[in-house]
Chain A
Amino acid sequence: MSYDKPLPPDDAANRPFRDGAKRGALMLQRCLDCGRHRFPAGRYCAACRGERSEWVASSGAGVIESFCTFHKAYWPGFEREIPYDVVQVRLDEGVRLFSNLVGVPRERIRSGMRVRARFEPVTPEVTLVKFEEAK
């Protein structure tokens, strides 16, 4: 069966994130003026409004800030998944992501749990950045 869940928008600004995930790296934009990391990509840094930036690899390490469980499917591709969990992760670099936690039963998910990125290819072009419990 072909992949039937939504795919991330393929915008040029976020291409380094997309390409990084395919090779197993969580790439973030970093401000060359103040050093803060950011994602999604933007021309200007929201903290210092600097325009100079680079893409760097994140450690992929972070912490769960919160989580919720979807009992309603907003896309047909998620109907067979419900109930499924979405986690709100804060990377150690300070950037936040929404994602899914793999391999942890729902009753064990807690805010404060340390996690690390894992990479899940879903189509030949797209690899999603998910998380697993850090050992």
Chain B
Amino acid sequence: MPNKALSGRVAVAGVGTSRYGKLPEYDAYDLGVWALKEALTDCGLGFEAIDGLIVNRIPDYQRFGEITGLNPRYTTITPGQGRFSGICIQTAVAVIAAGMAETVALVYGNNGRSAGDHYGGASDAYGSGGAGLWFPYGMTSPGAFHALMMRRHMEQYGTKPEQLGAVAMAFRRHASLNPDAVMRTPFTIEEYLAARFICEPLRLLDYCLINDGGVAMILTTAERARNLRKPPVYIRGFAQAAEFAGSTFPPEDFWRVPLKRVADEVYAMADTRPADMDALMIYDNFTPTVLFSLEGFGFCPVGESGPWVADGKLQLGGAFPTNTSGGHLSESYMQGWALNVEAVRQLRGECGARQVVGAELIQYMTAAPVITSMIYGKDPG
């Protein structure tokens, strides 16, 4: 059951990001500290104000606290998988609501580009860890997992490569308006279709980037946030559902059942509907995930996401501007974190050329074996 009493009680007070790209002189800790300093400056707080610490992808929480001189009341650490950005933010809300901490710093650092991370081959750690059994057949990588899902979607519903291309093109167009984005040169549908296949039916431009960077968010009570430097962005709704059974293999229903469960809960908690959203931030590890998310959250009927995205709905100026920063495909692969930051910056009106005019409600969503969604509001509701 959604806890309506928590709607609007916790707010994002500060956000911070490092530069993105190839930053070999910074390790994951350094990138996290960089972002955290930015987030604290953003809200006008000092390190001494942090009494809760949640770190993600940074290797060790104790080391992180040691190098930043933090002695929080509450600490946790989570695995470096993108689904955990949403989980961490929800945990922070619960921790604050429970009074276990008042001001939680969420810190993410990713030096995957400089560390030479690979998402396939012998180091493949996607999913539940049984990947090695399938390496002899050449099966590996999260990209292949999503290629298998997309093939079924194409066969069942007639979804076309050009429709995936529309998603990738929209996000790149947004990135071209974002000075912080790693990939800023727009491409045409012909260029999309001419990009090499990595795992067919997915092409290079269907895949997220691999780059270095850090992101931090400061969450606190709505009351405290109102006295800080920037206008609060309120967490109006949040929900989560996992589907682990059989999850070495792609879900037959494109995660439709757990997505629906999360959708029902998050919209009820925020007292909103999909049509109320002024912009969307959709976890785009690969373009198909965007389609599955839109269907699962009820933005379009099941199976119709392909034609639905093809006429510009996801672009700035469209019905639901999506991943206005460029997302993982074109801005930066910050595993959900930077999309949550983009939601905050949009609601504050800080996005310059890519600003969604008058944005009041923005939804974040991840479709994965753990599904999360948050609805952010300019007002507490």
Contacts and interface: CB of A to CB of B under 8 A. Distances in A.
A78 B226 CA distance: 58
Interface string B129-171: 0101111111111001001110110010000000000000000
Contacts of B139: 86, 98
Contacts of A68: 144, 147-148, 151, 199-202
A9 interface: yes
Interface stretch (B242-250, B258-266, B300-308): B242-250
Interface in A72-86: 72, 74-75, 78, 81, 83-84, 86
Nearest to B131: A98
Interface residues of A, number: 34
A76 to B, nearest CB: 10
B198 A71 contact: yes
Nearest to B124: A74
B73 interface: no
Contacts of B148: 66-68, 86, 88
B155 A111 contact: yes
B122 A71 contact: no
B121 interface: yes
Contacts of A46: 245-246
Nearest to A47: B245
Given A7-B136, A83-B200, A86-B138, A75 B121 contact: yes
Nearest to B203: A71
Nearest to B132: A9
B187 interface: no
Contacts of B199: 68-72
Contact of A8 (B132, B140, B245, B246): B132
B245 A81 contact: no
A29 B136 CA distance: 21
Contacts of B248: 96
A96 B151 contact: no
B200 A69 contact: yes
Interface in B232-275: 245-246, 248-250, 252
B229 interface: no
B63 interface: no
A98 B151 contact: no
Contacts of A74: 118, 120-122, 124, 138, 140-141
Contacts of A5: 136, 138
A68 B147 CA distance: 6
B191 to A, nearest CB: 17
Interface in A92-117: 96, 98-100, 110-111
Given A9-B133, A66-B148, A68-B151, A88 B249 contact: yes
Contact of B138 (A66, A78, A96, A122): A78
A96 B139 CA distance: 13
Contacts of B122: 6, 74-75
Given A71-B199, A110-B155, A111-B155, A88 B250 contact: yes
A70 B152 contact: no
Contacts of A67: 148, 151
A70 B130 contact: no
B196 interface: yes
Contacts of A72: 120, 198-199
16 contacts: A8-B132, A65-B252, A66-B149, A68-B201, A70-B138, A71-B197, A71-B200, A74-B121, A74-B140, A74-B141, A75-B122, A75-B135, A78-B138, A83-B197, A98-B137, A111-B151
Interface of A: 5-9, 14, 40, 46, 65-72, 74-75, 78, 81, 83-84, 86, 88, 96, 98-100, 110-111, 122, 126, 128, 130
Q: Ordered nearest first, which 8 A-B pairs have the shortest CB separation? A: A74-B121, A6-B135, A69-B200, A68-B147, A98-B139, A71-B197, A98-B134, A66-B148
Given A8-B133, A46-B245, A98-B134, 19 more contacts: A6-B135, A9-B133, A14-B133, A46-B246, A66-B148, A66-B151, A67-B148, A68-B147, A68-B151, A71-B197, A72-B198, A72-B199, A83-B200, A86-B137, A86-B148, A96-B249, A100-B138, A122-B136, A128-B136
